Structure 1
């Protein structure tokens, strides 16, 4: 609402003396932060509710109006900042949004501050990252591309009633763009790379350096042969991808948000590091696809590393969608992982074995890596002796490894105590027994299923491949 005088002109309110009252909005002098183009964020209240108030120069009225429109359209989601109201004077536009207690950058980089340290201790990384990608998925479902995903624009709010985990909110819609109904990409505005230095996708950077008359295609994107820190399974998966590598003109798509989110994922799990190195070298490294995911912090397991590597691929056509990321095994609980392996085993058991069906041939691809050479020699003697009582197993077969896992889970209560002790309790200990010895097993089965239409569409895998917003 614009405050009007009797002449129809905006009221000239004294905006140098705090608190400032405009309609139902009260702006206090406490500054929460600063943004581009003279933007300042203050504490305030709206109808008695504590809010953050974003003050933008009236010169950027059109940009601010677009931001409000996108906020109004997208804020009906638990992981997107909530919009309350806007007020306009002759100098500024004020936007009232949900007040948060910290940014992601605060809780990662300012752990010496007791408040931020306490919030950090309450957060489970997988829950935090799931909320980030859930918010991005919501925006993408509305054909909104954020274009500035970074730690400063991801805010932390207090848990809602009956919840014990802080809420994670996507904020700052100033650079967002909405695709038209028939659009899947848009031009990079006057060849300026939207976003923040060090968090922008390579296609943004390449297009930003072109003259308006120049063009660029996907062959300019860095190769995916980053051998320094790529996981063995990721390299094998890349070599098997049957994707169209014919060059096509570079486009700006939703995938720019996926790239930035991949960098944020690593930032969280490595306690503040960046996959493309130190600040001054990041953009050159991004263009050259030179990254390193070997964090000394130790918070990155094989599933997390695999997910991040897919998200930060140089070729945006090969990055997963937000929805695909939400169904990645990194986010699964031990129970869900164990049930998935068991149901996968059940599904492969119905395949013709001699000669092996095409699905079994696919399952056994790169078996040596998956079963650590010979899984029968890798398991301990207690389990090996117990397995040998009932049937013969092929130590080089992925199918037989899955079968052994499934059988022991089915008959766990009937196992001798010494075998139970070796395997550990279900689900955590039992799952860890197998995944610690065969770290690529879960990812291998997951990608065999995801990349095979008949398996991907099988109803038994629906609960694993169709993410929820839990």
Structure 2
């Protein structure tokens, strides 16, 4: 087990920073590596060194003949191996494994080399524009550009980029990287870990935020264009980077949309409704694609159509034009039977014994995020910066703070908001309507607290009133933790005296509670700005999402 973990850590290192063996023999070979003399011998020596490095990085041993690397350009900075194809694109574009040698340090590193064929001057200008975009945009969540060169005789352009482990397709569909190695997270979790998924999505949003701040529109976001790279700065050992800026365009100063001369671009099933209808191309089309990517990443059910909000590939464009959402994340997160927390098992769980139960609330928030991102109303779609601030990405501490604001704002008036009646039915359908079985220790505290104050214990059946009791219970423990553990010392066994620990206990124990709290909070905001309409529209979209999910569960 330790050996596997060590191997995973090695594979998770930043490959672009790896150096080839620097023995004197290899240094001599590098100095002799010129086009004029001993080309074959020099290339063979370097290929052997690179072959050793690749097998060392992959953790494999092979006696196979090392590949012959072709010299590119007059200065010999790039070498690529035509036998190691990493990916392919449209119009004959290929991505190969190769090396990039810096002129100053004379040190080689493994890279991905994008080879592009061009036949006309117009095609060459497009490639040159992509290179200029790569040079201009520099962010931790964007693919790193290293070098470019061309072969005029064969009309080929070569772009060297940092080497990554694979795309989101590799992580969540193929379950192995471009070198056929499994993804092993540094913390030992599987690659479909819920928090790892959110980590990747947050990275994508951060990269997109930067692209939009620089007044660029990517125009081709999709799982294939999101790569996963080793990263030592987080517990998972990986980060997401956006790649393929071939279709990216820069907005003119003071403009919010591209000219129609930019054409119909993108990939089937990932283009927004306004693009398919020949409308304006704005940053909002990237937000639409991001929403689709959220569902692709977060979906627990990998069956055809379930990983995309608009269904199977053949139906997507038609459903997008009709604004007909096909599936939801939270309707599939808990389809499979599994083990739930032991202290939350009771007869009330007989109808649903779900392995993903504690993430159900998060899945609802993810569905709400997807809903606003893919809305046909581009004014409802959030900015990339707004996506980062969405409650789906909030910590438990932030959610507890929101709960406190909500309690102070509503107090005893929860039953006046129609969402409560909807969620009551949702809870009852899910078979999780007894709070005494969901958060038993906190419930025991609440019963004792009321008894001390001369009040009867409330009914355990969920209602608007009992939901208010839950809110009050959370707030009391949050504000008076030291007094609460004196009343019931067992509270210390399930939570610490901080908002993060309390939030995890309450919002995983009663996973539907926070989406209801948040939708109340959003309802308050919408009421304060009804004349403007935008906040109300966003509220309506998220309410529609919850209604649709509720109807799905009630029909089971």
Q: TM-score, normalised by structure 1?
A: 0.72
How many angstroms apart in 2 are the aligned matches of 1:178 and 1:387?
Answer: 61
1:436 CA displacement: 3.1
1:317/1:19 CA distance change after superposition, 3 Å: same
How many angstroms apart in 2 are the aligned matches of 1:49 and 1:371?
Answer: 55
Q: 1:27 aligns with which of 69, 79, 104?
A: 79
1:168/1:419 CA distance change after superposition, 3 Å: same
1:391/1:430 CA distance change after superposition, 3 Å: farther
Matches within 5 A, 1:249-288: 250-271=279-300, 272=302, 273-288=307-322
Structure showing the higher helix proportion among its residues: 2
How many angstroms apart in 2 are the aligned matches of 1:329 and 1:107?
Answer: 25
3-state SS in 1 of match to 2:287:
helix
| 1:67 maps to 2:130 | yes
| Contact 1:383-1:422 within 8 A present in 2 as well | no
3-state SS in 2 of match to 1:265:
helix
How many angstroms apart in 1 are the aligned matches of 2:512 and 2:127?
Answer: 54
| 1:318 maps to 2:388 | no
Matches within 5 A, 1:360-375: 365-366=417-418, 368-369=420-421, 372=424
The residue number in structure 2 matching 1:154 is 226
The residue number in structure 2 matching 1:125 is 197
| Contact 2:415-2:464 within 8 A present in 1 as well | no
3-state SS in 2 of match to 1:440:
helix
How many angstroms apart in 2 are the aligned matches of 1:85 and 1:182?
Answer: 32
The structure with more radius of gyration: 2
The residue number in structure 2 matching 1:134 is 206
| Contact 2:222-2:289 within 8 A present in 1 as well | yes
The residue number in structure 2 matching 1:45 is 99
| Contact 2:402-2:518 within 8 A present in 1 as well | no
Q: 2:447 aligns with which of 385, 389, 392?
A: 385
How many angstroms apart in 1 are the aligned matches of 2:309 and 2:423?
Answer: 29
1:112 CA displacement: 6.3
1:20/1:302 CA distance change after superposition, 3 Å: same
| Contact 1:435-1:441 within 8 A present in 2 as well | no
* Cα distance per residue 1:94-128 (max 9 Å; x no partner): 11111111111111111267624436824611101
1:326 CA displacement: 0.5
Number of equivalences:
385
How many angstroms apart in 1 are the aligned matches of 2:167 and 2:181?
Answer: 12
How many angstroms apart in 1 are the aligned matches of 2:465 and 2:475?
Answer: 17
**Structure 1 stretch displaced more, 294-303 or 163-172:** 294-303
| Contact 1:371-1:401 within 8 A present in 2 as well | no
* Cα distance per residue 1:407-426 (max 9 Å; x no partner): 12222332233773897663
Q: 2:474 aligns with which of 405, 411, 416?
A: 405
RMSD: 3.5
Q: 1:292 aligns with which of 316, 327, 332?
A: 327
Matches within 5 A, 1:140-219: 140-160=212-232, 164-189=236-261, 191-192=263-264, 194-207=265-278
1:440/1:167 CA distance change after superposition, 3 Å: closer
How many angstroms apart in 2 are the aligned matches of 1:340 and 1:206?
Answer: 40
| Contact 2:211-2:217 within 8 A present in 1 as well | yes
| 1:103 maps to 2:132 | no
**Structure 1 stretch displaced more, 426-435 or 96-105:** 426-435
1:332/1:24 CA distance change after superposition, 3 Å: farther
1:362/1:423 CA distance change after superposition, 3 Å: same
Which consecutive unaligned segments of at least 5 residues does structure 2 have?
Answer: 1-38, 41-67, 103-107, 335-355, 437-442, 530-556
1:395/1:206 CA distance change after superposition, 3 Å: closer
1:372 CA displacement: 3.7
1:446/1:331 CA distance change after superposition, 3 Å: farther
Q: TM-score, normalised by structure 2?
A: 0.61
**Structure 1 stretch displaced more, 269-278 or 425-434:** 425-434
1:407/1:252 CA distance change after superposition, 3 Å: same
1:391 CA displacement: 8.8
1:53 CA displacement: 1.3
